[in-house]
Structure 1
Amino acid sequence: MRRHFRQDTVKLSNGLAVHYHEWAGQGPNLIFLHPSLGYGRMFEFMADAMGDRFHVHAPDQRGHGRTDKAAGDYSAQEYTEDLAIFMQKLGIDRAILVGHSLGGRVAQVFAARYPQRVSALALIAGPHLSNFYGTRESAQSVLEGACSTISHPDEFKSKEEAYAFMRPRKPFTHDPDAALHHRIEHNYVHIGDGRLIPRYDKIRVAQGLAHLSYNLRPYAARVECPVLIMRASLGAALSREQADEIARFWRNAQVVDVEGHYALQFENPAGTAKAITRFLSDTGVI
């Protein structure tokens, strides 16, 4: 059963108009932060699975969805300041942050810069190795990914063409069909003649992807809240040994395996929600 949600757009003091989705709940504030090429509503299955125990917000971050594609460097630091102003605008003093990929980088930097405003931090599919071990090989992979994103089509002739483009490509490879159709429905502008135009700005997304090589170790050392690393157990990006090693960069982090390859919010929303809720309960956050 789908939980009721509302959506709105707010103008921040930095001039950015941010679109967001909100699921009202009884408990603490929880903010979902989407990955590159994502959008806030992609977390609606997670919001359903978590029930009304949390008051949930899921913004479209800059360059994505219905939020402005403003000028800027699209670093995690810039996204972090957007989030700080967004929370202030909505009167959210403190929140649990759940981030995936880009959203995870933003959450990590935010928790370091504003420790008093974060109750807990949960990283879907774990952090990126390239943000902790800046090897030459990882830098090449990051730059290739950014270049690939720039080559995304500016429009598709039909839903079928959009589906055919996404199905074999990362990060969509392991998305269930329902997830791809969700992306097509909510992450594209549908023109009357059947054409689809992406809601994300591929150039701005590529700018953000280039920051996958930025060293986040100093930020991890400043995080005071408990941290959950949810390793996608079927994925190849992060082994258990690597996840355990990265967890040591935080003062209070734990690793759990969640079945899935990458986009756990689509592949396994119930299992991901259960892992987050158990972690928050075990650490005394709820």
Structure 2
Amino acid sequence: MLEEKTFYYSEKQGRGFPVLFLPAAGFLGNEGQNIADVILDDFQTHLLDLPGMGRGQGIKKRCTTKEMAEWVKGYLDQEGIDQVHVIGHSLGGALGMAFAAHYPKRVSKLVLLDQGHKPFPRIPKNEFGPFAYAFPVLSGAVRLFGRPILQKLEPLFAGSPTNYEDRDIDQEVHDFCEQFNLENTAYIRKAKEIPAEFSVDGLNLMFGYYQTNLPKLLKRIESKTFLAYATFKEVDEKEQRYTQKYIKSWSNGGELSLRSVNGGHYVHWADEGLLTDIHDFLKGT
């Protein structure tokens, strides 16, 4: 079972200039373990659980990009970190972008893993199945009524309590790797062993994410940014076309560097060469 929540929960590894890793929804900070292992000789990686989706407390106010940024800032202030490299995957990337947009002088470099180059779907079927059709209405209700609505919705998203002893983790990892065309590795197994369970605060974060214009937020970033995006080739033909449509609008010059990864959403598990590219980007001037 997960431990009692503290305000922030992170695991620190390596030494050197600080790197903050922010995971995708459903994962703890250890989703970034394979990245931390590659860069540990040059950087200290902080594998941070997301607010309300792990072993840390969540954001209580309406979850705007400003509140996301303040939450990240609070952790860095607590750790006495003035400047940091930020790596964020998916939802974690949205928090990283929010922090970089609101506190540009505190982000040295930003690495986005399949995040920012295209909008989050208005009907997020891949994430929530048929229930996704209700998302626009629910999002409006959350905007109007806030936490009382979130408390009523939380049981629908959380499902029944997890019985860790009854889970077939081998089958879960196998199915996950099959779904996303990934090699079954110890890193994936470790990340899947303890899922980040939903809570009211986690749901608050999800709706804040849903309400964020991700490409618009990315355009505000001043820091040098490395964006590794999934092509979805041989994984999801519809998502492949959707990605191609939006990636054409981004140039490969200026402060934004693009790097394609053939495969699905979990780009850091799909391409080992990407880990070296991330290390080189962080080390470069």
* Range into which the TM-score falls when normalised by the shorter chain: 0.7 to 0.9
1:271 counterpart letter in structure 2: G
Distance 1:111 1:53 in 2: 22
Gapped regions of structure 1 (runs ≥ 5) = 1-8, 132-137, 188-197
Query: Are residues 247 and 240 of structure 1, via their aligned partners in 2, closer, same or farther at CA, if it must alter by over 3 Å?
Result: same
Task: Provide, for residues 43-88 of structure 1, a one-character-per-residue CA deviation record: whole Å limited to 9, x for no partner.
Answer: 1111112231112111112112211246343444323211101101
Q: Are residue 155 (structure 1) and residue 162 (structure 2) matched?
A: yes
Residue 191 of structure 1: aligned partner: none
Aligned with residue 245 of structure 1, among 244, 249, 269:
249
Aligned with residue 226 of structure 2, among 206, 225, 228:
228
Gapped regions of structure 2 (runs ≥ 5) = 133-155
Aligned with residue 11 of structure 2, among 15, 21, 26:
21
Q: Are residue 139 (structure 1) and residue 141 (structure 2) matched?
A: no
**Cα distance, 1:177 vs structure 2:** 3.7
Distance 2:69 2:274 in 1: 24
Query: Are residues 273 and 157 of structure 1, via their aligned partners in 2, closer, same or farther at CA, if it must alter by over 3 Å?
Result: closer
**Cα distance, 1:109 vs structure 2:** 1.2
Aligned with residue 255 of structure 1, among 250, 255, 258:
258
Tell me whether 205-214 or 225-234 shows the greater mean CA deviation. Answer: 205-214
Checking the alignment, whether the CA contact within 8 Å between 2:86 and 2:107 is kept in structure 1 is yes
Checking the alignment, whether the CA contact within 8 Å between 2:28 and 2:49 is kept in structure 1 is yes
Distance 2:262 2:280 in 1: 16
Task: Provide, for residues 11-34 of structure 1, a one-character-per-residue CA deviation record: whole Å limited to 9, x for no partner.
Answer: 9xxxx61110101323x2211111
Distance 2:77 2:220 in 1: 22
Tell me whether 214-223 or 45-54 shows the greater mean CA deviation. Answer: 214-223
**Cα distance, 1:117 vs structure 2:** 0.2
* Number of aligned residues: 251
**Cα distance, 1:144 vs structure 2:** 6.6
1:21 counterpart letter in structure 2: E
Aligned with residue 277 of structure 1, among 252, 265, 279:
279
Task: Provide, for residues 125-163 of structure 1, a one-character-per-residue CA deviation record: whole Å limited to 9, x for no partner.
Answer: 2326225xxxxxx31227972847816442236454466
Distance 1:19 1:89 in 2: 12
1:230 counterpart letter in structure 2: A
1:24 counterpart letter in structure 2: G
Checking the alignment, whether the CA contact within 8 Å between 2:14 and 2:43 is kept in structure 1 is yes
Normalised TM-score (structure 2)? 0.73
**Cα distance, 1:170 vs structure 2:** 10
SS at match of 1:87: helix
Query: Are residues 129 and 59 of structure 1, via their aligned partners in 2, closer, same or farther at CA, if it must alter by over 3 Å?
Result: same
Normalised TM-score (structure 1)? 0.73
More helix by share: 2
Distance 1:44 1:278 in 2: 17
1:182 counterpart letter in structure 2: K
**Cα distance, 1:105 vs structure 2:** 0.6
Distance 2:227 2:38 in 1: 19
Distance 2:159 2:169 in 1: 11
1:222 counterpart letter in structure 2: R
Distance 1:152 1:175 in 2: 27
